[in-house]
Chains A and B, each alone.
Chain A
Amino acid sequence: MNMMGWRTLKGAIGIFTAFGFLFLIGPLFVIVPLSFNAEPYFTFRPEMLMLEPEAFSLRWYETLFNDEEWHRALFNSFFIGICATILATTLGTLAAISLNHSNFPARRTVMALLISPMVTPIVIVGVSVFFFYSLPFIGLSQTYLGIILSHAMLGAPFVVITVTATLAGFNQTLMHAASSLGANAWTRFRRVQLPLISPGVITGGLFAFATSFDEVVVVLFMGGLEQRTLPRQMWSGIREEINPTILAVATLLIIFAVLVLFTVEWLRARTAKQLQHQ
C-alpha cells in the first residue's frame, strides 16, 4: 500500500472512532431535550426541531416534584446510599490501611476475598442475598437493613482499591516522626495519615455511593414497596407506564453524574499534585 492508501485507511479509522464516541455519548444528549417535551411523547416533533417555545415545557419536572412516590424514591436512594457509603468507607479504609503493611499474612487471598463482590455477576449476588435474607431466622428481606448491608458489600471493594492506591504514595516515615513526637496510634491516624489519604477515601466513598445509587438488581429482588429507590422506580416506570417523567429523572441523574465525575477528577488531580510534592 502506498502513502495515499495508508492515509485513507487512517482517515477511515478516524471516522469510525468519531462514531464510537458519538455512539457512547450521543444517547445521553438525546434524553435531555426530550425531557422538556410539551407533549407526552418520546420523539422530537417538528415544532421542537423548529425550536418553537410552545413545544417545550417543564411539565414533566412539575409532575416529578409533586409526586409522592418519586419523593420517597429520592429519599430512599439517598438514605440507603449514605448509610451504605459510611459502612463501606469505614470498613474499606481500615482494611486498606491494614493491607498496606508489608508483612500482612496471606495478602493475595485476603485481597481476592475483599474484591470478590466486584467480580461476582450481579444477578448471583441478588439471588444469593434474596435467599439468605429470606430465611426465617434472618428475616432481612424487604428491610432497609438488608439492602444497606448488600450495597455496602458491593461498594467496599472500590474503597479498598482507591485507598490502597493512595497509600502506595504515603510516606511511612511521617508516622514514625509523629510517633517520636509522642503521638499515640489514634492521634497518628487522625492527624497525620487520614488527612493525607483523604482524597483516596473520598473517591472510594463516591464510588461506593454511586454503586448503591445505581444498584437495582438487589433492590428489585429483595426490596419491598417501602424500599423503592430511584432506579427501582424508573424500572417500574419503563415497564409499566412509560411517560416523559422518566426522562426528567434521567436528565437530573445525568447532571448528578457529571457533578460526581468532576468531584472525582478534582480529587484525583489533588492526589497527583500531593504525590509530586513528596
Chain B
Amino acid sequence: MGAFKASWLALPLVGFIIVTLLVPIFSLIRLSVYDSTVADALPKTAETLQAWQGTEIPSITTFEILGEELTTARETRELGRIASRVNRVLSGSRSLISKTARRLAREDAPDVRSAFIAIDEDWGQLEIWHALQQATKTFSSRNFLQAIDLGLMPDGSIEQMPETQRVYVTLFIRTLGVSIAVTLLCFLIGYPMAYAMAHAGPGWARVLLVLVLIPFWTSLLVRTTSWIVILQQQGVLNDIFVFLGLVGDDNRLTMVHNMTGTLVAMTQVLLPFMILPLYSVMTNIPRDLTKAASSLGANPYQAFVRVYLPNSLPGVAAGGLLVFILSIGYYITPALVGGSKGQLISNLIAYHLQTSLNWGLAAALSVILLAGVILLYIVYDRFIGIDRMKLG
C-alpha cells in the first residue's frame, strides 16, 4: 500500500470532524456577531434607515415604508421576533412595536406619521428610530459587549450596565475561580493517591487502580446523584454528623444546592482525570532517584521537593490541564447541585439557549469561553508542550 493511498484513509474522519464540529463552531461564531432577523423582515425600512442621518425624525416616506412592512410582518407572524430583537436594543420597544402594528390600520389620521405618533408619541422621539436603525444592521458587537456587562446604547455609544444587571463578568470570574479551585483540590487529593498507586505492591496497586477506574467509568449523572443523596439536609453526611453530635438535628448543614455542592461534586467527578496521568508518569520515575538523593544527605522533604516532584511535573501539568479544561465548561454538575449560588457560565449559556432564547448572547458567551480555552492551550504549548502531555 503506497503512502499516498494510506493517507487517504484518514480523510473520512478528517472530513467528518470538520463537518460535525468545526463548521458548527464557525456557525456559532457567526451567530454571535450576525443577526439578520430584522433586516430580512423589514428590508426596505432597513435600507432607508441606513441612509438616515439620525439627527431629526425620519421623513414621512420612512413612516410609510415602516407601516407597510410592519403590517406585512404582522400577517406573516414575524412581528413577535422583530419586536423582541428591537427590544434588546431599547427596552420597551416590544410593546411599542406590537401595539403600533396592531392599531395602525384602524388609526384615523391625516397621514401615516400622525397615525404613528397618535398611537404613541415615542415615534416622535429619536430614540426608537436609533434603536430600529441599529436593529436593522446585520453585524453587531452587541452580544459581545453584553457578555462583558457593557450596553450598546441606541445612539451607538457604549455604557456600563447598571449594577443590578452586571452578571456575566462576575460569572466568568466565578467560573475561573471554581476551575482553579477544583484543579488545586484534585491535585492536593490526587497526588498522594497516585503516589500510593505507583508505589504499592503489585496486588495493592491493582486494587487501587480499580478503585479509581470504577468511578471513572461510572455515569456522571450517577455520581452527581450520589452527592445529592449524601450532602442534602436529610442526607447521609448530615445523619452521621447528627449521630456523632457534631450538629443539632434542627440545624443541619446546607451542603448542596450551593457553592459547596458544586466544589465537592466537581472535585470528585474530575479526580480520576488528575490521578490517571499522574499515575502513568509516576510509574516511570526510577525508584533509585530518591534513594540516591537520600544517600547524598537529603532529608525526605528535600528528596521529595528537589527530586521526585520535578520528575512528576509532566503528569501534574497534563492532569491539571485536563481537569481545568473539563471544569471550565462544566454544565451538568453545577446545574444539579449548584443551586443559584453555584452556577457557572455554562449554566447561563444553557439558560439563554433554552429559556430566554437570546441565541446571539449564548453564542457570544460561548465564543469568549472558547477563546479562553484556546489561549490556555497556546500558553500550555509554549511553556510545557502539548506533545509532552501524557494521558495514561
A: residues with CB less than 8 A from B are 1, 6, 10, 13-14, 16-17, 20-21, 23-25, 27-28, 30-31, 34, 41-44, 91-92, 94-95, 97-99, 101, 103-105, 110, 112-114, 116-117, 119-133, 135, 149-150, 152-153, 156, 160-161, 175, 185, 188, 210, 213-214, 216-217, 220-221, 230-231, 234-235, 238-239, 242, 246-247, 249-250, 253-254, 257-258, 260-261, 264-265
- Give the CA-CA distance A242 to B225 in the complex, in Å: 10
User: Per DSSP, are chain B's interface residues mostly helix, strand or loop, or mixed?
Assistant: helix
B43 at interface by CB-CB < 8 Å: no
Residues of A within 8 A of B1 (CB): 175, 185, 188
- Give the CA-CA distance A247 to B1 in the complex, in Å: 53
Report if A34-B229 is in contact (Cβ < 8 Å); known contacts: A99-B10, A113-B14, A120-B21.
yes
- Besides A23-B271, A124-B25, A128-B366, 18 other A-B contacts (C-beta < 8 A): A1-B301, A24-B215, A28-B214, A28-B218, A34-B229, A101-B6, A113-B14, A113-B17, A114-B17, A120-B370, A128-B24, A188-B1, A216-B220, A217-B331, A235-B221, A247-B229, A250-B221, A250-B226
Residues of A within 8 A of B299 (CB): 1, 6
B62 at interface by CB-CB < 8 Å: no
State which of B100-108, B189-197, B306-314 sits at the interface with chain A: B189-197
Chain B interface residue count, CB cutoff 8 Å, equals 85
Flag if B354 contacts A221 (CB, 8 Å): yes
Partner of B211, one of A25, A130, A260: A25
- Nearest 10 CB-CB pairs, A to B? A121-B329, A132-B24, A98-B9, A128-B24, A27-B226, A123-B346, A98-B10, A95-B13, A257-B217, A91-B13
Flag if A247 contacts B366 (CB, 8 Å): no
Partner of B9, one of A10, A21, A27, A95: A95
Residues of B within 8 A of A14 (CB): 196
Q: How far is the CB of A182 from chain B (nearest CB, A)?
A: 15
Q: How far is the CB of A25 from chain B (nearest CB, A)?
A: 5
Flag if A17 contacts B193 (CB, 8 Å): yes
Partner of A28, one of B31, B189, B208, B215: B215
- Could you mark each residue 218-241 of chain B with 1 if its beta carbon is under 8 Å from any beta carbon of chain A, else 0? 111111111111101011100100
Give chain B interface residues in 323-337, CB to chain A under 8 Å: 325-326, 328-332, 336
Total contacts A to B, CB within 8 angstroms? 256
Residues of B within 8 A of A120 (CB): 21, 25, 329, 370, 373
Report if A43-B236 is in contact (Cβ < 8 Å); known contacts: A24-B211, A149-B20, A221-B353.
yes
Task: Look across to chain B and name the residue whose beta carbon is closest to the beta carbon of A99.
Answer: B10
Flag if B222 contacts A128 (CB, 8 Å): no
Flag if A257 contacts B16 (CB, 8 Å): no
Flag if A21 contacts B220 (CB, 8 Å): no
Q: How far is the CB of B26 from chain A (nearest CB, A)?
A: 9
Flag if A28 contacts B226 (CB, 8 Å): yes
Flag if A235 contacts B9 (CB, 8 Å): no
B119 at interface by CB-CB < 8 Å: no
Report if A135-B217 is in contact (Cβ < 8 Å); known contacts: A95-B12, A246-B225.
no
Q: How far is the CB of B6 from chain A (nearest CB, A)?
A: 5
B: residues with CB less than 8 A from A are 1, 3, 5-10, 12-14, 16-18, 20-25, 27-28, 31, 189-190, 192-193, 195-196, 208, 210-230, 232, 234-236, 239, 268, 271-272, 299-301, 325-326, 328-332, 336, 346, 349-350, 353-354, 359, 362-363, 366, 369-370, 373, 377, 386, 391
Residues of A within 8 A of B332 (CB): 216-217, 235
Flag if B229 contacts A30 (CB, 8 Å): yes
Residues of B within 8 A of A6 (CB): 299-300
Flag if B226 contacts A260 (CB, 8 Å): no
Report if A25-B221 is in contact (Cβ < 8 Å); known contacts: A121-B370, A216-B332.
no
Report if A124-B329 is in contact (Cβ < 8 Å); known contacts: A27-B223, A31-B229, A257-B219.
yes
Residue in B8, B12, B391 with the greatest tally of chain A CB atoms within 10 Å: B12
Report if A20-B190 is in contact (Cβ < 8 Å); known contacts: A34-B229, A128-B28, A217-B332.
yes
- Give the CA-CA distance A133 to B23 in the complex, in Å: 11
Residues of B within 8 A of A150 (CB): 20
Residues of B within 8 A of A210 (CB): 217
Task: Look across to chain B and name the residue whose beta carbon is closest to the beta carbon of A90.
Answer: B12
Q: How far is the CB of B323 from chain A (nearest CB, A)?
A: 12
Residues of A within 8 A of B235 (CB): 42-43
Flag if A110 contacts B14 (CB, 8 Å): yes
Residues of B within 8 A of A188 (CB): 1
Residues of A within 8 A of B190 (CB): 20
Flag if A94 contacts B10 (CB, 8 Å): yes
Flag if B336 contacts A239 (CB, 8 Å): yes
Q: 22 A-B residue contacts at CB 8 Å?
A: A24-B272, A94-B12, A99-B10, A110-B10, A114-B13, A116-B22, A120-B370, A121-B326, A123-B346, A123-B369, A127-B349, A128-B24, A128-B25, A129-B21, A131-B359, A156-B17, A230-B219, A231-B219, A235-B221, A250-B222, A260-B217, A261-B216
